[in-house]
Amino acid sequence: MRFPKLPRPVRQLTTHVLAIALGVVLTISTLQVLPSQAEPAPLAPAVDTPEIIAQRQSPATSTIGSSSFVTAAVNRVGTSVVRIDTERTITRRMDPFLQDPFFRRFFGDGLPQQMPSEQLRGLGSGFILDKSGLVLTNAHVVDKADKVTVRLKDGRSFEGKVQGIDEVTDLAVVKINAGNDLPVAPLGSSSNVQVGDWAIAVGNPLGFDNTVTLGIVSTLKRSSAQVGITDKRLDFIQTDAAINPGNSGGPLLNGRGEVIGINTAIRPDAMGIGFAIPIDKAKAIASVLQRQGKVPHPYLGVQMVTLTPDLAKQNNTDPNSPIQIPEINGVFVMQVIPNSPAASAGIRRGDVIVQVDGKAITSAEQLQNLVEDSRLGQVLQVKLQRGNQTQQLSVRTAELQNAS
């Protein structure tokens, strides 16, 4: 069957209508298929914007940033940190053998008249406490020095006069006359320091001036007895910031550039461990040294160690032990210093102190702090265990004359 040929305009119109109809059918089919497929993925920008890059930084990068907080802290304390050089002259004593008149007649002028003197030089750090030129440092930095020279960061040098030394807390105050407009170190509060806080040590280790090391506060209230410094009465801030000879007396800073401690007490066998005197303690001691030149410290006169039932049991089960110890908590008296308050009160070696003024004593550090906080001449009521008996003694504190 043959269809008649349609005119050209009609054929074009028919073609357009069929194309439109086919497009509508395909669109409807596509809309029906899409819901059955996976959920659409979120759109991501082709290129990260600066805001997105900042959000993706690590915590360390966002904390330090391009301008380090350490730089800001050091710049804040900066010029108030000083170097302290000391000189001490030692004259050795002549051998008595060489002073014998017989040998002098025999050898004549060949014998020396006196031994040559020797110059000992020391190096430490410190920082300026006030604009008048008061410098705080360690006692062992300037102790027994014949000459003290304080060098500022700007290169100026001044002769320092030691105003006061306290060996028990290893602190000293030095005065320089450099006008009344010196840079002063900002002081923080060690009572607010927490384990894990930033710790920045500034000083002159090994003679390398203006050195900065960074670490954290490792622990707090590390007693001098635990550190192995039995002649001090301190609870240190422990840090892993590198502290070397020459750092002694320099400041330990927090992340804001405030002084939280005075670097000191370096143990030769320590690996990556340093100690600092808390600034709250140092401020109190410095104030007394400035006024009086020394700090009175009460003492009892016993060498002691913390005792626990387990330690006592280990001792008592040892067949070679020379003494049986009460298996209790307290402070074991290892030695009584002759002519001390403890000796005068009747405390003996082997006693276990369990109470002072009605307060239970469970550690040597606790007893030491209690005595340190007492007044000179104060009578302390000491309860102790001596074998199977309990004793109550009255001990009057006296002033500690020599830390060693």
Residues catalogued as catalytic: 140, 170, 248
Query: 381 with 392: CB under 8 angstroms?
Result: yes
Computed on alpha carbons and rounded to an integer, the radius of gyration of the chain in Å comes to: 38
**Locus of tokens 């000191």:** 264
Query: 138 with 265: CB under 8 angstroms?
Result: no
Residue 146's CB is within 10 A of a number of other CB atoms, namely: 11
The whole-angstrom distance between residue 397's C-alpha and the CA centroid of its chain comes to 30
Query: 166 with 294: CB under 8 angstroms?
Result: yes
**Locus of tokens 């550190």:** 227
Give dist(CA 290, CA 379) in Å, integer. 29
Q: Which residues contact 347 (CB under 8 A, 6 or more apart)?
A: 300, 302, 333, 336, 353, 382, 384, 393, 395
Query: 163 with 174: CB under 8 angstroms?
Result: yes
